[in-house]
Structure 1
Amino acid sequence: MTTLITGARGNVGGGVLRRLHAAGHALRASSREPGRLDVPEGIETVLLDLAEPDTFESALRGITQVFLYAEPEGVDEFVGAAEAAGVKHIVLLSSSAALSPTALEDPLGRHHILVERALLASSISTTLLRPDAFAGNAFGWLDAIRSGGPVEQAYPDANVAPVHEDDIADVAAAALTEDWLVGHAITLTGPRSISLREQITIVAGRLGRDIAIHELTRAEAEEKMARYMPAEFVASLLDFWAGAVAGPAPISDAEWVTCKPARTFEQWVEEHIH
């Protein structure tokens, strides 16, 4: 039984790959740039672009299960190729944005729910992972913190429950190796609600210095974020932050999967302070 790991260069995909490799599973790692993959010796690397159906057949040949990043473009073709290849199970890295009752009208929600629906309509058993905001989103403040300048942030009092990427990888690895998780949809968050402002304060405390925050207007944020994110996703994320100011973020109870407490944002900071 061979597992295909898509997005193997990412924090979550790479974490899943390392866990399954350590447990002795047969693996194939894929990327749009397979030559840049850094994987343990003995793991096959292949080209797979989820928006390019011509890359599907060879990547899926001989594969039994897949850890899949959500990409709606080409998803129907991917599902068809996976069925033809004999894939039995897919674990999808979706998003909590898919849980919104208006997900289809929201660009972030629609991006993920279209993939969920394509998988659920197929003959392949599926496990859905729906993480909230990643703790690693804090890397967006890295340049400002390094330069000593203020962190520019819209809606700094927005409340999220940042989830450690290792918790996502732990649950994904379990879903790929334990039959009892087949068919589940699992929401993943960190252990507590915390504002963006408080996250920055935690980083400052660990560094032992103050970090100033410059609150951006929505227009300023739209202009800045559009440099590295599609405009429709910028609007979706800003809408989310605007709504998240009103109250605490919901907390999931995913400890039933890993049987251990969720990692905290403080732990993430300690691990990545360098």
Structure 2
Amino acid sequence: MVHNGHFVGLNPVQAKLPGETMTILVTGATGNVGRNVVDLLALAGAEVRATSRNPDALDVPAGVDVRRADLTEPETFAPALRGVEKLFLYTQPSGIEGVLDVAKAAGVRHVVLLSSLAAAGRDPDHWIARWHLGEEQAIERSGLAWTFVRPGAFAANSLQWAEFVKKGEPVPILYAHSYLSSIHERDIAEVSTTALLQDGHAGAKYHITGGESLTQAEQLALIGRAIGRELEFADLTGDAARADFRARIGGRFEELVEEGTVGRGDASSIIETRIRYYEEALDGPEEIDPTVEKVLGKPPRSFAEWAEDHKADFTD
């Protein structure tokens, strides 16, 4: 169950710290994954620092040290990284090398990076693959110990449907019958936290997915079951899908251009790559990766569990 963005009533990572505690810094602490990493580390007894460019926006457990730091201004990390041994990092391409330089100077030993399964994909020229591969390569060059957590599709991507569900309108879905093995953000956080707290994960590239492959239409039906309603959808394909996706990425595309992640002429390529991804996913269920169960000793959460955990997001 989610309460104010935090999971309650769930077991923390089974990795209590023996004796001495270590200080771990978490970036992206307002995000779906970072927020859960903070919670899990605090439950495990670690000394946790959480950073944000807007620290007043952070809602963290008691005892968590909140600091202001901006990934686009690496120098702001110097005070936050003093005494830190391990770093959970989610960043944009701009600034990562500067942050790594500051981390090395501060004595950080190990970086756990929230990357993407796109970094291991068939299309290394895809902008998401370029972004995450660039981060990974910068960390490898830094000489720091590292673990790369590479999730596939986030179950939380389905939150984009919430505004339509709340209004009682049909949900527009790009290729509604395409398959995704979406992963719960809590599972991503537990794998990341395990890599931070336990030995033996340095040098690992963890490809993680959910434990089932469902069509997006099936995912929407599970959300409907969680909130007690039958939900309708509009299946957008071809040019209708292109137009919808172009409208969705409008503002975000400008941000990506400013960050240097994509060029201004890349919009059509981004759209066509996404359309091709969904078209290929129509062919049948995606492959399920066993890494979550290998790392955590338990299977990943189902999409039905995610829907139950997030039903307030579709009703309030």
Q: Report the TM-score, using the length of structure 1 for normalisation.
A: 0.94
1:81 alignment counterpart: 102
Structure 2 partner of 1:214: 234
Q: Residue 153 of structure 1 aligns to a residue in which SS?
A: strand
CA-based RMSD: 1.6
AA aligned opposite 1:200: L
Q: Does 1:148 align with 2:174?
A: no
Please tell me the residue identity of whatever aligns with 1:249: E
Is it true that 1:191 corresponds to 2:211 in the alignment?
A: yes
Query: Are 1:12 and 2:49 an aligned pair?
Result: no
Q: Which amino acid in the other structure matches residue 218 of structure 1?
A: A
Separation in 2 of the partners of 1:161 and 1:61? 39
Alignment size in residue pairs: 273
CA gap of 1:76–1:268, structure 2 versus 1, over 3 A, is: same
The alpha carbon displacement at 1:233 in A equals 5.3
Tell me the TM-score normalised to structure 2 length: 0.82
Q: CA deviation at 1:14?
A: 1.2
Unaligned runs of 5+ in 2: 1-21, 254-266
Residue correspondence of structure 1 range 101-140 to structure 2 within 5 A: 101-103=122-124, 105-140=125-160
Name the SS of the counterpart of 2:252 in structure 1: coil
Separation in 1 of the partners of 2:195 and 2:147? 7
Correspondences of 1:27-176 after superposition (within 5 Å): 27-103=48-124, 105-176=125-196
1:24 maps to which residue? 45
Conservation of the 8 A alpha-carbon contact between 2:75 and 2:99 = no
Q: Does structure 2 retain, via aligned residues, the 8 Å contact 1:70–1:112?
A: no
Q: Segments of 4+ in structure 1 off by > 6 A?
A: none
2:26·2:38 contact (CA, 8 Å) conserved in 1? yes
Aligned equivalents of 2:62, 2:229: Cα separation in 1: 42
- Which residues of structure 1 form unaligned runs of 5+? none
- 1:119-140 CA distance string (max 9 Å, x none): 1122110001001111111111
Deviation at 1:204, TM superposition (A): 2.2
Sort the Cα spacing of 1:42 and 1:161 in 2 relative to 1 into closer, same or farther, 3 A.
same
Is the alpha carbon distance of 1:271 and 1:235 closer, same or farther for their aligned partners in structure 2, counting shifts above 3 Å? same
Contact 1:190 1:262 in 2 (8 A): yes
User: Which segment drifts farther, 248-257 or 50-59?
Assistant: 50-59
Q: Which residue of 2 aligns with 1:258?
A: 296
Partner of 2:246: 223
CA 1:132–1:266 in structure 2 vs 1: closer, same or farther (change >3 Å)?
A: same
CA distance in structure 1 between the aligned counterparts of 2:128 and 2:279, rounded to whole angstroms? 15
Contact 2:246 2:271 in 1 (8 A): no
